[in-house]
Amino acid sequence: MVEIDYGCVACGYFRVALQRVIADPLGLSDFKMEVQCIGCIVCRKTLVEILLTIAKGIDKINDLVGRWVSSLTVIMVLVTVIIVVLRYGFSIGFIWMQESVRFMHGFVFLLCAAYTFLHNGHVRVDIFYANMSDRGKARVDIIGTVLFLTPVCLAILIYSYDYVLNSWRDTEGSLEERGLHAVYLLKTCIWIFAISMIAQGLSRIIHCTALLLNHGSVDRKK
């Protein structure tokens, strides 16, 4: 008996399962042989490795960006202290300095979101999630990323398109004459935020899928 299975989704090759039952002429034993296309096995493993490499690349980029941008929090505190001292100690104020704090806050919030997602730092209610197995958590992460994270980030990209584009077209600046005239750069971070979150979500899906296929693990450390 020969069965041919055309459903190899891992590599697209035809998987030929040859099952041959040879009856012993004497009726003493049965012999069963199964042969699988080598291309399926090799390509399945290679595909997972390629996807994991992509996921690790995304993780490294978001981790690097997050670490660099997060350093702005220290600068933001120092600038705020200087603003307070100048205002209440010397009655001096600089609008551009005050706006720089808002700029840095926006940069940190938008550009470090993917970094925070990578290290599971976002606030969430995990009454049930905390008690799940790693495989259960992987399934929840995949569903949450596909049904909630990705659609929301895509909506942000779509609805902010004209908002950011018009800002660049007009080279939008501060409403104050002595303010920072680079508001369009700050608004561009909205796109970067959405794209980086989608990319990190893709990375999470890859890691979780690899875990479910017994090809890897998911780092859930904060």
Q: CA geometry: angle at 69 spanning 71 and 178, to 5°?
A: 90
Q: What is the pTM of this model?
A: 0.76
Q: Under a CB-based contact definition with an 8 Å cutoff, are residues 193 and 156 in contact?
A: yes
Confidence (pLDDT) at 48: 82
Give one word for 211, left, alpha or beta, with left for phi > 0 and alpha for psi -120 to 50.
Answer: alpha
Q: Where are the domains of the chain?
A: 1-36, 47-212
Asked if 11 contacts 43 with a C-beta cutoff of 8 angstroms, the reply is yes
d(C-alpha 181, C-alpha 173), whole Å: 4
Task: Determine the pLDDT at residue 144.
Answer: 93
46-94 pLDDT tens trace: 788 889 999 999 999 999 999 999 999 999 999 999 999 999 999 998 9
The mean pLDDT of the chain is 82
Percent pLDDT > 70 in the chain is: 76
Amino acid 131: pLDDT:
86
